Amino acid sequence: MVFTMTTTSPQGRTELLRPDGSPVRVLVVDDELSITELLSMALRYEGWQIRSAGDGQGAVQTAREFRPDAVVLDMMLPDMDGLAVLGRLRRDLPDVPVLFLTAKDAVEDRIAGLTAGGDDYVTKPFSLEEVVARLRGLIRRSGAADRRSDSVLVVGDLTLDEDSHEVSRAGEGIHLTATEFELLRFLMRNPRRVLSKAQILDRVWSYDFGGQANVVELYISYLRRKIDAGREPMIHTRRGAGYLIKPAAS
């Protein structure tokens, strides 16, 4: 199936659509309600259609009739092993890409071989930006074989490549740390739109982050040094509201 990119979202964001123009469908499987709720909300915000399940049984059943374009699957389910669920899912939907959720320390053993099939995983606790980015990648790549990968975000003379993790402004390469990269990606995916510190914290930092809220200020400061240094600034503060990024020209 070929997914297309359009910029017709009400937010003015780029979003993925199925060939018939209907929204992408994602199935979320996790036994913790708080996680499925969190993910459902974040993914709906992407304009996707979400269905969720709390166990393997439900997952297989829902998948059969919902026919999702991608699945987010917790490896630790009450009724069956993540791999068993995967097997059943694959029987009905042979090509559906799967994003696994796994505990930080359980990573190495059972994930073996899974990323080789084009699937991917994130460790708990994750950040929503990470999940969304990985899902977008999976969905994009699962599409028919003949489309250019549109993995580059552009705002003014600033570009960010999600595949190579390369960032450059006015042609000049810029090195960013992992957190800086995710923050900039979030900003660039929402250009000209004010994002509150709370929103940023919720999206870019993992859901169990317990630190001081001013990390956002700190990382905005880091980004400015690297992105805006000496140039016309692109990152702006809206005092009392948040931050936004926009092309330097306007």
Partner DNA sequence: TGCGTTTCTCAGGAAAATCACAGATTTCCG
Partner DNA sequence: CGGAAATCTGTGATTTTCCTGAGAAACGCA
Contacting DNA (CB under 7 A), which of 214, 229, 231, 232? 214
- Among all chains, which residue has been given the structure tokens 């957190």? 179
CA distance 122 to 102: 6
Which does residue 9 touch among a second copy, DNA, none (CB within 5 to 8 A, set by kind)? a second copy
Q: Does 78 bind a second copy (CB under 8 A)?
A: no
CB 75 within 8 A of CB 35: no
Q: Does 15 bind a second copy (CB under 8 A)?
A: yes
Q: Does 210 bind DNA (CB under 7 A)?
A: yes
The SS3 assignment for 101 reads strand
DSSP sequence for 160-219: EETTTTEEEETTEEE---HHHHHHHHHHHHSTTS-B-HHHHHHHHS-TT--S-TTHHHHH
Which does residue 244 touch among a second copy, DNA, none (CB within 5 to 8 A, set by kind)? a second copy
Structure-token pair, residue 156: 């003014």
Q: Does 178 bind a second copy (CB under 8 A)?
A: yes
Size of interface with a second copy, in residues (CB under 8 A):
66
Q: Does 226 bind DNA (CB under 7 A)?
A: no
User: Looking at beta carbons only, is 57 or 179 nearer to DNA?
Assistant: 179
State how far the alpha carbon of 31 is from the alpha carbons of 58, 74, 80, 119, 164, in Å.
11, 8, 11, 21, 34
Q: Does 209 bind DNA (CB under 7 A)?
A: yes
Contacting DNA (CB under 7 A), which of 103, 198, 221, 231? 221
Residue type at 138 in one-letter notation: L
Q: How far is CA 68 from the centre of its chain?
A: 17
Point out which residues bind a second copy (CB under 8 A). Answer: 6, 8-12, 15, 23, 33, 37-38, 40-42, 44-45, 47, 87, 90, 94-95, 107-108, 111-119, 121, 128, 140-141, 143, 145-149, 163-166, 177-178, 192-194, 196, 198-199, 201-203, 207, 209, 213, 238-241, 244, 246
